[in-house]
Each structure stands twice: as structure tokens, then as C-alpha cells.
């Protein structure tokens, strides 16, 4: 599997190169403060970070969508970039299929769009208006739109946020399959540490406007939470994110226990 970027030497030109990237929306303070990042061709990087830490800001910079935002830095990205926005951003005046195939210049655009929709579980909804889709369905339509155009770099901003566990696993599988075929570089924002570990070659944590933590996922074969290495990485990342232990609930249940004891 020489294609896995994680195994490449650093001599190969990176697909994405970011140097001392600064971005700020006002005088108060920068959102990105000298961020450096390289992504090798074909590498799958998951981006974690607090809400408001600047993940979307970084993605928009990479996509060249932040013309108005003050800042400096060097960004190099491939020609063909595809973005899954945090909001699904379907054109409300186009039916779902037309949204997916928009700008697709292949002769069989409609067929490919139909197939992509089927793959994200929206077969039969080609003619629906975006407002007729549920939140998760909109998200999947927007995913289909990005995947159907074989980008060299895929920037995905929480593309699975509104999906249930099963659908999410299906989308993981789909994304992995497409990555294997087309080998794009991927930068995927997620809030789900498990998802990051399962999917990515590398997990980075954004904090204070720089990459605070950069962890290569060295797990192999079937990545399972049961694997102690998985659990270790998970714990480390959660610590980086400020969480001592996941899903602890000190407040209520403790209180209740105390109350119970008192009653």
C-alpha cells in the first residue's frame, strides 16, 4: 500500500502546503495564528478542534473562499478542490439531482449523479427539492455532490454531523472506497474522535490557531475501539481536546446518588 501517504518520505511534494497562516476577523485577535500544515497526496487527515477554534476558517482558506478576511501566509493546494460545507448548501431552486451534477461536465453527468445519490442512500429522491429532504438527507446529497467530481483535494466540514450511527458507517465505507479508487488528499473536520481515528491516516488538533497536536494513526487492519492502541490514541486526543474522560457526567448522576443516600 505504497499509496498511503503516511508511508511516504517527505521528499514528495505535498498536495497541500500551508505556511505560517494567519487569519483574523477583527482587531481583537487572530483565529489562525501562524498555522503550518502539509498534506501528502492521497493522505487522509482528520481535523479536530473546539467549536470556534477555526476549523472552518482553515478550510475556507484552503478553498480560497476567504478573500475578504485579513491575514497572511502561504497556501498551496491542487487545482481540483472539492468542498463539503458545514451547512449542506444545496441550491434551493434546483432539484437534488441537478444540485449534485451542477458543473459536472461529463457526458454521463446525470447517470453519475444518480449513482452517487444511490450510494448515499438517496435513490429515488433525485427529483425532490432540497427543502423536502431531512437534515441528514441534505448532508448526504451535499456529500454526493463532492464525491461525484473526483477531486485532488477533498475538504469536508463535518460531513457526517447529522447522520445516525448506521448511515454514518455506510458513509464511512463509501468515503473510504472512493478514496481508495481516486486517492485524493482529504482534510476532514469532525467532532467525533472515534470517527477521526477510524477514518484517518493522521489526526491533527487545532487549538490557539495552530496545529497543537499531530498524531499519525498507526493502527492497522480492523480499527476497533476494543483495540488498546485505539483506546490510547482516543484518550490522548480527548485529553488534547480538554476532556478528561468521555461521557462522564459528574453533575446530575452524582447529585442524584448523593440525594438518594440522604433520603
Partner 1 sequence: MTTLTGNLSAPTRALAEAEDVRPTRRRLGPGEPIRFGGLIGIAALLLAWVVGSATGVLDPRTLTEPWTVVQTAGTLIENGRLQESLVTSGIRAALGLGLGVLVGTVLALVSGLSRIGESFIDGPIQVKRSIPTLALIPLLILWLGIGEPMKVITIALAVFVPIYIHTHNGLRTIEGRYAELAETLGVTRGEFVRHVVLPGAMPGFLLGLRFAVTSSLLALVVVEVINATSGIGHMITLASNYGQTDIIVVGLVVYALLGVTADAVVRLIERKALSWRRTLAS
The residue to which cell 457526517 is assigned: 160
Selected range binding partner 1 among 76-84, 175-183, 204-212, 223-231, rule: CB under 8 A: 76-84
CA distance 263 to 260: 5
25 touching partner 1, by CB under 8 A: no
**Residues facing 188 on adjacent strands:** 46, 156
CA distance 139 to 146: 11
CA distance 96 to 127: 6
78 touching partner 1, by CB under 8 A: yes
Residues of span 81-110 touching ligand ATP by CB under 6 A = 86
56 touching ligand ATP, by CB under 6 A: yes
Residue nearer to its own copies on the CB measure, 34 or 161? 161
Residues of span 96-115 touching its own copies by CB under 8 A = none
Considering only 2, 9, 29, 51, the residue that binds ligand ATP (CB under 6 A) is 51
67 touching its own copies, by CB under 8 A: no
Name the grid cell of 193: 474522535
- Report CA dihedral (42, 204, 56, 73) to the nearest 10 degrees: -80
Provide Rg for the chain, Cα atoms. 20
Minimum distance of ligand ATP from residue 25's CB (angstroms): 3
Considering only 28, 29, 52, 181, the residue that binds ligand ATP (CB under 6 A) is 52
Name the grid cell of 198: 477510524
Residues of span 140-199 touching partner 1 by CB under 8 A = 145, 149
CA distance 114 to 124: 9
Minimum distance of ligand ATP from residue 193's CB (angstroms): 14
Minimum distance of ligand ATP from residue 140's CB (angstroms): 8
Alpha-helical (H) ranges within 88-134 are 96-101, 109-119
Minimum distance of its own copies from residue 133's CB (angstroms): 8
Pairing state between β 16-23 and 32-39: antiparallel
CA distance 125 to 118: 9
- Other Cβ atoms less than 10 A from the Cβ of 138: the count is 21
Selected range binding partner 1 among 25-33, 82-90, 168-176, 226-234, rule: CB under 8 A: 82-90
Minimum distance of partner 1 from residue 88's CB (angstroms): 10
Alpha-helical (H) ranges within 88-208 are 96-101, 109-119, 135-147, 165-182, 193-199
Annotate each residue in 4-43 with x if it binds ligand ATP (CB under 6 A) or - if it does not, as one string.
---------------------x-----x------------
Q: Which residue is nearest to ligand ATP (CB)?
A: 136
The residue to which cell 487545482 is assigned: 79
Residues that bind partner 1 (CB under 8 A): 19-20, 61-67, 71-83, 85, 87, 89, 91-94, 98, 102-103, 129-131, 145, 149
Residues that bind ligand ATP (CB under 6 A): 25, 31, 49, 51-57, 86, 132-137, 162
Amino acid at each position: 500500500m505504497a499509496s498511503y501517504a503516511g508511508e511516504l518520505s517527505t521528499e514528495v511534494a505535498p498536495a497541500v502546503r500551508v505556511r505560517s497562516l494567519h487569519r483574523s476577523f477583527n482587531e481583537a485577535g487572530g483565529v489562525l495564528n501562524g498555522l503550518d500544515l502539509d498534506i501528502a497526496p492521497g493522505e487522509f487527515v482528520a481535523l479536530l478542534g473546539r467549536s470556534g477554534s477555526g476549523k472552518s476558517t482553515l478550510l475556507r482558506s484552503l478553498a480560497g473562499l476567504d478573500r475578504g478576511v485579513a491575514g497572511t501566509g502561504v497556501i498551496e493546494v491542487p487545482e481540483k478542490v472539492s468542498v463539503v460545507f458545514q451547512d449542506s448548501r444545496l441550491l434551493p431552486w434546483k432539484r437534488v439531482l441537478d444540485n449534485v451534477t451542477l458543473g459536472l461536465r461529463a457526458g454521463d453527468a446525470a447517470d453519475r449523479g444518480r449513482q452517487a445519490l444511490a450510494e448515499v442512500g438517496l435513490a429515488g429522491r433525485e427529483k425532490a427539492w432540497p427543502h423536502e429532504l431531512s437534515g441528514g438527507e441534505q448532508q448526504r446529497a451535499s456529500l454526493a455532490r463532492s464525491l461525484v467530481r473526483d477531486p485532488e483535494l477533498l475538504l469536508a466540514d463535518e460531513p457526517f454531523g447529522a447522520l445516525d450511527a448506521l448511515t454514518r458507517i455506510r458513509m464511512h465505507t463509501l468515503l473510504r472506497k472512493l478514496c481508495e479508487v481516486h486517492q485524493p488528499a482529504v482534510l476532514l473536520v469532525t467532532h467525533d474522535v472515534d470517527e477521526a481515528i477510524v477514518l484517518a491516516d493522521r489526526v491533527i488538533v487545532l487549538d490557539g490557531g495552530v496545529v497543537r497536536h499531530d498524531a499519525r494513526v498507526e493502527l492497522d487492519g480492523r480499527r476497533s475501539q476494543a483495540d488498546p492502541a485505539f483506546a490510547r490514541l482516543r484518550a490522548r486526543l480527548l485529553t488534547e481536546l480538554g476532556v478528561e474522560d468521555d461521557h462522564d457526567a459528574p453533575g446530575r448522576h452524582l447529585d442524584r446518588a448523593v440525594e438518594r443516600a440522604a433520603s
